[in-house]
Amino acid sequence: MVPTVEDAAAMFRPSEEHEAFRAAVRELCDAKVAPLAAEVDERAEFGWASYEALRAGDFHAPHVPEAYGGVGADALATAIVIEEVARACASTSLVPAVNKLGSLPWMLAGSEELRQRYLPRVASGEALVSYCLSESEAGSDVAAMRTRAVSDGDEWVLDGAKRWISNAGVSSLYTVFAVTDPSAPRGHGISAFVVERDDPGVSFGAPEKKLGIKGSPTCEVYLDHVRLPADRMVGEPGAGFALALRTLDHTRVTIAAQAVGIAQGALDATLAYVAGRQQFGHPVGDFQGVQFMLADMGMRVEAARQLTYAAAGRSERDDPDLTWFGASAKCFASDVAMAVTTDAVQLFGGYGYTRDYPVERMMRDAKITQIYEGTNQVQRVVMARQLLKR
């Protein structure tokens, strides 16, 4: 069958349902999230009021399937939610983003009993969930992790420390990766587990003092002889490394969406500013040099959005080329976010360098999108290897 023009148009444009979803998220965020963004950043505390606003609108974990009490949003709808929340407040956008990151391993490989036990708690907003993969000496080199899980009868005993964990301490649930077979070949002896915040032996370090996304706490998670029943393992023993990478293939799309949202928020603020700011008797936006910068900003944001949506489609279908699209969307969109927010500060002039306007916060928030869930240097390695495989 030959595709029609209508088929091709649908591939490159979100559906009416997706746009209605966007409108609902934007309305909520403009009213309840954006007004709190500066305070959340200034206080460097988790924004509970913003979280409750998302929860009331069912936007805190839209990816959870309806079978487990969730909205059942597809990958594109979930990306749109994260994009729109990030446009208002990057810290708050980590609520739906990290909820997906932490719970997706359960959806990909967990038993039905484990899904039934935990996914409804995330869907209802009773619990947030975090993803515990990185360690002090195992960031980009995940296979070098030292956290251990030792079998003891019908239980596993976990010892170790995870670092750079988003929403740690706030989350009630944690997907933790640990070495279960030290003798296995590199990367083949790692397994995943669900750890609860109240499990004996679980504790947290002090929140990191960060450049941006200050309203999302980032802490170490300490595991001191934490005993778990065997049914808390996610998937098969030794399959954790592959599960971690497969999860990241999907969730890098959410970081791309976050980056697009931050960039769009900065562009929106800049357009409003240059239209009202007068210099030499004219609005700043009338000057050609400024217009060239605005054109580049808008072009980059839209290019990043289209690549992110294309990656979201691959994520939804679990296409074979998802690894390349996820890495390229995350890398490109985050580089765009950094460039666009930096230009936004420039176009605001001295005001852009102050906290009286939001663009300096957006520039600080944008930086992390080039780093977490794999630095952009790592993404380029991933992309190059995928190209060479072809």
Q: Which residues are catalytic?
A: 373
Least Cα distance to 117 among 227, 224, 239, 234 occurs for: 234
What number of other Cβ atoms are within 10 A of residue 355's Cβ?
10
Partner residues linked to 270 by β-bridges: none
Per DSSP bridges, beta strands 278-279 and 233-234 are: unpaired
Q: Which residues pair with 157 in a beta bridge?
A: 150, 227
Q: Spell out the long-range contacts of 137-145 with Cβ–Cβ below 8 A and sequence spacing 24 or more.
A: 139/164, 140/374, 140/375, 140/378, 142/177, 142/187, 142/241, 142/244, 143/186, 143/187, 143/190, 143/241, 145/177, 145/178, 145/179, 145/190
Q: How far is CA 353 from CA 16, 88, 245, 363, in A?
A: 39, 19, 38, 10
Beta bridge mates, 195:
174
3-state SS of 355-384 is CCCCHHHHHHHHHHCCCCCCCHHHHHHHHH
> In the structure encoding, which two tokens stand for residue 255, read together?
């970081």
R_g of the chain computed on alpha carbons: 21
Q: Give the burial class of 174: count Cβ atoms within 10 A of its Cβ; 0-12 exposed, 13-18 middle, 19 or more buried.
A: buried
φ, ψ dihedrals at 156, nearest 5°: -120, 140
Enclosing H/E stretch for 195: strand 190-196
Tell me the Ramachandran region of residue 373: left when phi exceeds 0, alpha when psi lies from -120 to 50, beta otherwise. left
List of residues 6+ apart from 171 with CB closer than 8 A? 98, 102, 127, 128, 129, 130, 197
